[in-house]
């Protein structure tokens, strides 16, 4: 039954429940499947059977315990060859360096301040993204400004110059009623949709010393905002030459087309893609911010056009005919100008969080080993 109690899996909070399984605070890690990630849960929670959780801290600081567990080699406790799994008895036998409680609290305060700022940035980004989605919904789905003018009212919360860009009537179209003067076009005629590829991994000259970002849908699985800052692997010039779409410019919108269908992000840097994407090179007729929100809004239709027996995949051939209702260029520009600062702030927050995470991970072993004391001796 839905509720406010977080359900914690080996990958973190996955849902919410009405019943409490364990009283918080707690520290949870994966028992099998995903192992090695550690989560501090401050409130009461419900751990799944894929997890291990701390139920007795023996007087130690819970937040310090979460950082201490992040330094443990969980792979050395794995007892399953097919699916990684942690043998709890092996885990219990690992020796750790345990400082006194005041030092534990000081270490947790230093590292926790960084994690708190990362979490604040995550929440801020969720709010900024929701604001952009709400504006897209109001202008391009619900047509609120047009309906207001149709009723003889001024569109609320709009500057006069922006309000003037909306008509005061509707017209029939293949997608139903749309504002007068808008057009319906296949998405493939609005933006340039291209695919990618994977250079031979057996050929070192494509990969060794590579500096060009090359992405797969796996890079998107942990994104907390629709912006791609980095990739796990890089290509050389020779590797880029093996991909027909080459190096795509910063600002390209990427949609994963399989495994799974539906990951979305705007590339913050030039990037090449593998065959698991449809990349959209946008323009002033349909900006990347507009298309990002349009894809999110149209995801049910996008997924519905996917085919395949082993796994679902939407081809460029099936994606390009999807129809999109387009406003005049002036209104498109007004929307882009209004949401661009929000996405710029999202990107800045992501960069800052990456810096804080790197600093935290650098400090963690030094603080726990005592080589960087937090309490003067």
CATH of 183-326, one of 3.40.50.2300, 3.20.20.70, 3.90.220.20, 3.30.420.10: 3.90.220.20
100-176+327-377 maps to which CATH number? 1.10.287
Rg of the chain over Cα atoms, rounded to whole angstroms, equals: 25
- CA distance readout (Å), 296 to 129, 134, 180, 332, 334: 12, 12, 24, 17, 20
pLDDT at 377: 55
Which pLDDT score, from 0 to 100, does residue 1 have? 60
Tell me the per-residue pLDDT of 64-84, one tens digit each, with 9 for 90 and over. 999 999 988 877 776 655 666
Q: Do domains 5-96 and 100-176+327-377 have the same CATH topology?
A: no
pLDDT of residue 83: 64
Between CA 319 and CA 265 the distance in angstroms is 17
Phi, psi of 60 (to 5 degrees): -85, 160
pLDDT tens digits, one per residue of 293-310: 999 999 999 999 999 878
The secondary structure of 150-195, three-state, reads HCCCCCCCCCHHHHCCCCCCEECCCCCCEECCCEEEEHHHHCEEEC
Distances, alpha carbon 136 to alpha carbons 116, 222, 356, in Å: 30, 25, 32
pLDDT at 330 over 90: yes
CA angle 334/336/341 to nearest 5° reads: 115
The percentage of residues in the chain with a pLDDT greater than 90, rounded to a whole number, is 81
Please name the residues in contact with 279: beta carbons below 8 A apart, sequence gap of 6 or more. 193, 194, 195, 196, 245, 248, 252, 253, 254, 255, 273
Whole-angstrom distance, CA of residue 118 vs CA of residue 225: 13
Instruction: Supply φ then ψ for residue 70, to 5 degrees.
Output: -70, -20
CB atoms within 10 A of CB 205: 13
pLDDT, tens digit, 9 for 90 and up, residues 148-200: 999 999 999 999 999 999 999 999 999 999 999 999 999 999 999 999 999 99
Residue whose structure tokens are 């995470």:
357
d(CA 119, CA 126): 11
pLDDT digits (tens, 9 = 90+) for 233-265: 999 999 999 999 999 999 999 999 998 999 999
Cβ neighbours of residue 310 under 8 Å, at least 6 residues apart?
none
CATH architecture of the domain covering 5-96: Alpha-Beta Complex (3.90)
Task: Find, among 281, 200, 209, 192, the residue nearest to 243 by Cα.
Answer: 200
CA–CA distance, 59 with 65 (Å, rounded to integer)? 11
**What are the pLDDT digits (tens) for 277-293?**
999 999 999 999 999 99
Domain parsing of the chain, residue ranges:
5-96, 100-176+327-377, 183-326
What are the structure tokens assigned to 118, written together? Answer: 């990362």
Say if residues 235 and 210 touch (Cβ distance below 8 Å): yes
Whole-model pTM: value is 0.90
Q: Determine which of 44-53, 250-259, 317-326 has the lowest per-residue pLDDT on average.
A: 44-53
How far apart CA 232 and CA 272 sit, in angstroms, is 12
Angle between helices 288-297 and 101-136 (to 10 degrees): 90
């Amino acid at each position: 039954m839905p509720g406010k109690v977080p359900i914690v899996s080996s990958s973190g909070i996955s849902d919410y429940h009405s019943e409490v399984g364990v009283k918080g605070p707690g520290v949870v890690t994966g028992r099998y499947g995903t192992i090695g990630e550690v989560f501090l849960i401050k409130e009461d929670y419900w751990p799944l059977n894929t997890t291990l959780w701390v139920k007795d801290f023996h007087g130690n600081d819970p937040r310090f315990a979460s950082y201490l567990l992040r330094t443990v080699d969980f792979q050395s406790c794995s007892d399953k060859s097919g699916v990684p799994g942690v043998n709890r008895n092996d885990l219990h036998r690992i020796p750790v360096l345990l400082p006194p409680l005041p030092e534990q609290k000081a270490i947790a305060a230093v590292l926790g301040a960084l994690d708190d700022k990362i979490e604040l940035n995550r929440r801020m980004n969720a709010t900024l993204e929701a604001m952009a989605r709400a504006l897209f919904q109001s202008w391009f789905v619900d047509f609120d400004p047009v309906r207001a003018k149709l009723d003889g009212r001024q569109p609320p919360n709009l500057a006069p110059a922006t309000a003037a860009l909306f008509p005061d009537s509707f017209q029939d179209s293949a997608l139903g009623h749309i504002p007068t003067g808008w057009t319906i076009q296949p998405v493939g005629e609005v933006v340039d949709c291209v695919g990618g590829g994977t250079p031979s991994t057996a050929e070192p000259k494509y990969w060794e010393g590579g500096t060009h970002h090359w992405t797969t849908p796996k890079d998107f699985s942990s994104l907390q905002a629709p912006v791609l800052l980095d990739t796990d692997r890089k290509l050389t010039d020779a590797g880029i030459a093996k991909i027909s779409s080459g190096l795509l410019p910063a600002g390209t919108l990427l949609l994963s087309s399989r495994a799974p269908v539906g990951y979305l992000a705007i590339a913050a840097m030039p990037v090449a893609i593998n065959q698991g994407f449809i990349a959209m090179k946008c323009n002033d007729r349909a900006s990347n911010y507009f298309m990002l929100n349009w894809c999110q809004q149209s995801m049910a239709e996008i997924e519905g056009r996917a085919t395949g027996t082993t796994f679902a995949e939407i081809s460029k051939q099936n994606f390009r005919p999807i129809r999109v209702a387009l406003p005049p260029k002036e209104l498109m520009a007004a929307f882009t100008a209004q949401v661009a600062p929000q996405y710029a702030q999202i990107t800045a927050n992501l960069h800052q969080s990456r810096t804080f995470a790197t600093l935290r991970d650098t400090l963690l072993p030094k603080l726990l080993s005592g080589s960087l004391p937090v309490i003067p001796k």
